Structure 1
């Protein structure tokens, strides 16, 4: 199923869940109040998310002077993707990983750990950066903000039911209790499913941007291997940001579990290998030139 179609279906399910929960608790008026409050809270978080997340992970900005190769790589990838170049940050963290943040392509940033730059090849780093640019290009930050708004509103409705204990289900306390427990749980499941769907789509678009799906497949496998052995202290202190990274920085998942923010790495690799076969990508490819070297033909020219 197309990633955008799947995301649209999941968001429709989230909307239906919200409307159903709102009607069960307090009818349309109560649901509207909860939505407005949750939307306001999430809008504030969305507007300031880039600065907040970068600060949480002690990311430092870099430029053509302090990190010329990474800066040049991101600039060229952004040019090839037909999008504005985001700001570039580096996180002093040994675990290889990366994330993108920002409210839109004109106000975005990508961050890579020192472990990513030191432990992965030039091709793999480029593929990871392309994946993060894909998140920005696909407006995934906006999509996840919308789903977070609905999830927050549903949780708020459940809290209203707990506090006030009345509404359309006051004559059926069992149904009300079930809604209080199951509605937020179902919202979390749908929210995580949307997150996994966006990861698959970012893999696909990122592979197209860098020109070789196998570079990204290799990067995912290597990052996963390192992530299981190397702690990411800032991520451990801020687990709510784990979904932003290209690979879960906290622990590994063996399969696409309901509450997993990331698809299983082996599933992502299989999808990329299938894409490589469709694109006729050779198993061995010319290395990406570093800044100052002549570029190879194709997407890097």
Structure 2
């Protein structure tokens, strides 16, 4: 009988609960704006949100522009993040494809490298995914540790984390535009008005890292995933780029507080050692009548988007 593998079909998390939380968070923001503006007579909160129209318009605005932002985020990352896209025959791309097959995903993500000692995955969905690995990691990690890093990022693809986090980011940005804030004060505007949503998104960000670590460990081993995490956390201090995109990265803000984007290294290692999330991963077990699984084969794709202009 073949060894059990992860059932990627049951790893997928719906975007709907995240969207619903963002809607309630936007309403809380409007109410909060009304409360803090009323004593000084600005009337901003009342104009923006106390009427029924505001409570309807703001979620619609956030949803529409949130989905628009999702559709653009992969191509925007390639343009803005200093990423070098790899051809399909590149050894790193081939390793990504092999792990994709091991995970049972029916997709073939773009693969890229960047000059930062980190990694991330981005895209509107699994068929629109981009997996990025930092060149410094390729120089300092073993092959098994690199596979664990790739497995972690593919865990975000399989879990639908990219879509949930991308929607949250675009939704929150659209709200501050709706309320009249400029680009330079968006971060402060989000926290000042929609802090309920911001805390919810940070909680989601931390939880998804545990699941992605578990998937990386399932595709390699606990020891490989832990070793990879230790090397990343013990590496150079995050660059300005990594800090400004912390919610995307494998290593982000990890102060151990509710304002962290990521769990601390000790929290992640403890979860892996205790198999807290590993034990909950859905396993596909073959029936006795099924043939033994063949070795992992890179899936054939006729049209590789990044090989074209």
Return the TM-score normalized by structure 2. 0.69
Give me the whole-angstrom Cα distance separating, in 1, the residues matched to 2:248 and 2:119.
Answer: 8
Give me the whole-angstrom Cα distance separating, in 2, the residues matched to 1:96 and 1:130.
Answer: 17
Corresponding pairs, count: 248
Tell me if the contact between 1:61 and 1:87 (Cα under 8 Å) persists in the aligned partners: yes
Cα deviation for residue 204 of structure 1 reads 1.7
Partner of 1:32: 56
Structure-2 change in CA distance of 1:181 and 1:200 (3 Å): closer
Given candidates 135, 145, 166, the residue that maps to 1:145 is 166
Given candidates 16, 25, 28, the residue that maps to 2:24 is 16
Cα deviation for residue 117 of structure 1 reads 0.5
Give me the whole-angstrom Cα distance separating, in 2, the residues matched to 1:259 and 1:50.
Answer: 26
Give me the whole-angstrom Cα distance separating, in 1, the residues matched to 2:17 and 2:102.
Answer: 30
Tell me if the contact between 2:229 and 2:265 (Cα under 8 Å) persists in the aligned partners: yes
Given candidates 22, 31, 41, the residue that maps to 2:65 is 41
CA deviations 1:90-148 (Å, max 9, x no partner) are 11x2x421111111111111011110100111111000000101111111121113433
SS of 1:217's partner is helix
Partner of 1:120: 141
Give me the whole-angstrom Cα distance separating, in 1, the residues matched to 2:233 and 2:144.
Answer: 17
Given candidates 201, 207, 223, the residue that maps to 1:191 is 201
Cα deviation for residue 268 of structure 1 reads 0.7
Partner of 2:283: none
Gaps of 5+ in 2: 1-10, 35-48, 182-189, 280-292, 298-309
Q: After alignment, is 132-141 or 36-45 more displaced?
A: 36-45
Cα deviation for residue 49 of structure 1 reads 0.2
Cα deviation for residue 73 of structure 1 reads 1.2
Tell me if the contact between 1:128 and 1:216 (Cα under 8 Å) persists in the aligned partners: yes
Partner of 2:221: 212
Tell me if the contact between 1:11 and 1:194 (Cα under 8 Å) persists in the aligned partners: no
SS of 2:251's partner is coil
Partner of 1:56: 80
Partner of 1:87: 110
Tell me if the contact between 1:213 and 1:276 (Cα under 8 Å) persists in the aligned partners: no
Return the TM-score normalized by structure 1. 0.71
Give me the whole-angstrom Cα distance separating, in 2, the residues matched to 1:58 and 1:44.
Answer: 23
Cα deviation for residue 213 of structure 1 reads 2.1
Tell me if the contact between 1:62 and 1:89 (Cα under 8 Å) persists in the aligned partners: yes
Structure-2 change in CA distance of 1:232 and 1:37 (3 Å): same
Structure-2 change in CA distance of 1:13 and 1:40 (3 Å): closer
Gaps of 5+ in 1: 163-179, 280-296
Cα deviation for residue 4 of structure 1 reads 9.0
Structure-2 change in CA distance of 1:21 and 1:215 (3 Å): same
Partner of 1:253: 254
Give me the whole-angstrom Cα distance separating, in 2, the residues matched to 1:98 and 1:299.
Answer: 27
CA deviations 1:51-109 (Å, max 9, x no partner) are 111222211111244x32x1221111000111112111111x2x421111111111111
Tell me if the contact between 1:97 and 1:112 (Cα under 8 Å) persists in the aligned partners: yes
Q: In the alignment, is residue 201 of structure 1 matched against residue 222 of structure 2?
A: no
Partner of 2:98: 76
CA deviations 1:202-238 (Å, max 9, x no partner) are 1122322x1312211111111011043xx535435xx
Give me the whole-angstrom Cα distance separating, in 2, the residues matched to 1:4 and 1:50.
Answer: 20
CA deviations 1:135-167 (Å, max 9, x no partner) are 11111121113433553466567x37x9xxxxx
